Structure 1
Amino acid sequence: MARGSTLILSGMALILVGFILVFIGILISATHGETEVEGGGVIMIGPIPIVFGTNRNAATLAMVLALILMGVWVVLSLITRGD
């Protein structure tokens, strides 16, 4: 199997796992009645991050996860640079 096919299948599998996890989370929250929802996100416009969240903890977690993802991207870019 070609390398591109492997990456496509891996990406599709990760998307499927994400949908399954969201579905399980919805089922769990529906069975427990009222729950408090918190959320946050990061929008990257070039090197400038725009962080938002429903409270300080959600925004902080979004920033940390964005930094981790940026680090993973740098490492993967350096690894695949020789190809």
Structure 2
Amino acid sequence: MELLTAALLLIIVGVFLMALSMLITALKREEEGGESKTEAGGVVLIGPVPIVFGTSQRIAQLTLILAILLTALALLLFTLPLLR
């Protein structure tokens, strides 16, 4: 039961941090009064095949690198119990 509580707590903290980040960004934008450029990207993994998309080439490359790192981390965490 402690694991479930920790997972729910991490989810709540993550949502809070995202909301706080959006609020800080909105307040900074109002203070500066200027235009800002927003970039976004993402990865969809269908099995071992990544589908990468982004608003610019730089963001797409960054997203692909992050996806590779997170996939490697997930594989490591899944295989750790097998190594014991």
Tell me which interval the TM-score lies in, with the shorter structure as reference length. Answer: 0.7 to 0.9
Q: Normalised by the size of structure 1, how large is the TM-score?
A: 0.79
| Equivalent of 2:10 in 8, 14, 29 | 14
Q: What letter matches 2:53 in structure 1?
A: F
CA deviation profile, 1:15-60 (whole Å, cap 9, x unmatched) = 2222112111111121122432111110000110000011112111
Distance in 2 (alpha carbons) for counterparts of 1:23 and 1:32: 14
Q: Aligned pair count?
A: 79
Unaligned runs of 5+ in 1: none
Distance in 2 (alpha carbons) for counterparts of 1:59 and 1:30: 24
Q: Normalised by the size of structure 2, how large is the TM-score?
A: 0.78
| RMSD of equivalent CA atoms | 1.9
Structure of larger gyration radius: 2
Unaligned runs of 5+ in 2: 30-34
